[in-house]
Structure 1
Amino acid sequence: MEIRNLKTFQVVAEKLNLTEAAKELKYTQPTVTLHIQALEERLNHKLFTRIGKETFLTAAGKKFKVHVDHLLAYIEDIERDMQKLHRPDGTLTIAASEYYCTRYLALIIKAYSEMYPNVRLNLLPLNSHHALACARNHVADIAIVAGNDGGADLNKIILDEEHVVLVASSEISQGKNVDEIFSDYPFISYDDDCSFSEIASNYFKETGLKPESTIICGGSDETIKRIVLNGTGSAVLGENIVKEELEDGSLIVLERIADLVTTSSIYLKVRSEEPNIQTFNELLQSAWPLATHH
């Protein structure tokens, strides 16, 4: 049953005049007749009848029109929704940590650019606290953050969850417990406004352990990991970022910390219907688990 035939039937049923219907549809009158005949053959019912010079819907035609009106309205809704997502353009700015940018987003933005070449993508490498502020202040359209609930004005899409571990290099952890490592080597920390810094502080309070010294390294996961790998000290990191190093033995888990940290895409609720944000989040949800394996 072709949609064009249904649209022809709808107009004829409203006009009850083949000539007027053909004029509105920009078809010839024989074409309109063919469309109606095709439907009648498919349904095995006459849809129209003539009494004198007047055209009327049959009982089957009246019932069929109710269904056709609902169906064509639904098709219009589908077309309208699809049009909203058609060829997004303009600029899309994503704020995320250096680790997310290099490990995950580098792959995802390539795919997005191929799908939507008219969108100009900007990446802002920022820690989660500053990325969230950028999303709230319209500096970024989307923030990819770790362990932050955002607020009532924000939508949150969870992309991943990971455990948090206290790690040190195999070089300095051999034969030493956590207290001894804290005594002999500095703790490599994020800025105070990073979520992992808060996790580390809670860990110190709960255990009563305290490093003798601390080195602050901003919000770069990669930088902190490299410093730990060099044998400088210990650090609290997400398990995903050190997965390879734990497997090859270059880093050792000193303790698993109870906190489970979520990675989320966060954006303002009032911007939920924007095509750029919608389409990028849809790709994030499908591609993020795949990106973790590269």
Structure 2
Amino acid sequence: MDFKKYKTFQVVADTLNLTRAADMLGYTQPTITLQLQSLESELGVTLLDRVGKKTYLTPAGKVVKQYVDQIFALSDEMETELRKLEDPHGLLTVAAPEFYCTQYLSLIIHSYISENPKVKLQLFSCDSNDAMKKVAVGEADLAIIAGPCNSPQMETMPLGKEDLVLVTTRELFEQHDTRELLASYPFITYKTGSNIQRLVNECLQEYGITPDKYIECVSDETIKRTVMYHTGTALLGSALVEEELRKGTLAEIHRFPGKIETNMVILKKRADEQNIRSFSEIVQRIWKEWG
């Protein structure tokens, strides 16, 4: 199939004027005439008629014109889609716990949008389990989570490790010994079944304590704020409480090194999508710089 002949026919059929078509295509009139004759011979039909000085499409020419328009429209659509692979654009949805959203992703998003201005980013704040579920059902394109992901459908990219720190306020820490504190005040933690809660339970067992009183919260920030009101104790990621520990607002009771593994997860079947790949590359690059 000689696309040049079909393009020539399309332009002639649009203009119904050989002189104007020649100017638009940059051909001579004899060249256009030869291409049209060759196409008619190839198809075995007459495409154009002339009555006086006017050019008309034959019934066969009208049919061919309809299909030629569809062919070139599909060709343009294909080229547009191919350009998308080279130029990230459209909507990209990221799901992550609140702490990752506020402390890490805000900077990453700024860097990503600077490099990819045609992409519109949407950020969901939710716990790690919900973030993975959103990726699994297509409500999010990728997720940043605390803890492991064991789904065979997911590709997991480790970003780093973080300590878990058992903390309380400086006042409570100075007023009570550790066992009394843990026995008398509630343990403030994540909701049952969450990804990070399993890590917390492992640490509690390792430390040899089983709190009698619990308060469950939906986010890291809520847990930290509840602790800071002298409510009790909590196990939190070191990055979340680093500033409060430095200022002395919170006190460290015990530290569990490298317990939180931060991962980025995406569906394996979507790993090669340009938006996802470009975002995951910048996340890994910036996280490595922080590491």
* TM band (smaller chain): 0.5 to 0.7
Q: Is the CA contact (8 Å cut-off) linking 1:196 and 1:237 kept in structure 2?
A: no
Deviates more, 1:112-121 or 1:125-134: 112-121
In 2, Cα distance between the equivalents of 1:107 and 1:150?
Answer: 28
Change in CA separation of 1:175 and 1:99 when aligned onto 2, cut-off 3 Å: same
Which residue of the partner structure matches residue 283 of structure 2? Answer: 284
Question: Using a 3 Å threshold, how does the CA distance of structure 1 residues 199 and 177 change in structure 2: closer, same or farther?
Answer: farther
In structure 2, the partner of 1:11 is none
Question: What's the secondary structure of 1:174's corresponding residue?
Answer: helix
Structure-2 residue corresponding to 1:244: 243
When residues 278 and 194 of structure 1 are mapped into structure 2, their CA distance, relative to the original with a 3 A threshold, is same
How many angstroms does 1:85 deviate by? 4.9
Alpha-carbon displacement from aligned partner over 1:34-88 (angstroms, at most 9, x marks no partner)? xxxxxxxxxxxxxxxxxxxxxxxxxxxxxxxxxxxxxxxxxxxxxxxx9675221
Q: Does 1:130 align with 2:130?
A: yes
Distance 1:280 1:244 in 2: 29
Q: Identity over aligned residues, as a percent?
A: 37
Alignment TM-score, normalising by the size of structure 2: 0.67
Q: Which has the larger radius of gyration?
A: 2
1:195 alignment counterpart: 195
User: 2:177 maps to which residue?
Assistant: 177
- What residue in structure 1 maps to residue 205 of structure 2? 205
Q: 5+ residue gaps in structure 2?
A: 1-81
Structure-to-structure mapping, 1:135-284, within 5 angstroms = 135-218=135-218, 220-257=219-256, 260-284=259-283
CA contact 1:146–1:262 (8 Å) conserved in 2:
yes
Check whether the contact 2:94–2:141 (CA below 8 A) recurs between aligned residues.
yes
Is the 1:107–1:291 Cα contact (8 Å) retained in structure 2? no
Task: Choose 172-181 or 101-110, whichever is displaced more.
Answer: 172-181
Secondary structure in structure 1 of the residue aligned to 2:230: coil
- The CA RMSD over aligned residues, in Å, is 2.0
Aligned-partner Cα distance in 1 for 2:259–2:216: 23
Q: TM-score, normalised by structure 1?
A: 0.67
* Alpha-carbon separation, structure 1, partners of 2:229 and 2:250: 10
Matched with 1:37 is none
2: distance between equivalents of 1:278 and 1:214? 41
Shift of 1:131: 0.3
Give 1:257 deviation, angstroms: 2.6
Map 1:77-88 → 2, pairs under 5 A: 85-88=85-88
Stretches of structure 1 that go unaligned for 5 or more consecutive residues are 1-81
Deviation of 1:143 after TM superposition, in Å, equals 0.7
Query: Within 2, Cα distance between the matches of 1:106 and 1:207?
Result: 35
Q: Distance in 1 between matches of 2:83 and 2:160?
A: 30
Could you tell me which amino acid in structure 2 is paired with residue 229 of structure 1?
A: M
Alignment coverage as a number of residue pairs: 210
Look up the equivalent residue of 1:277 and give its one-letter code: I
Q: Which amino acid aligns with 1:273?
A: D
Q: Give the corresponding residue for 2:28.
A: none
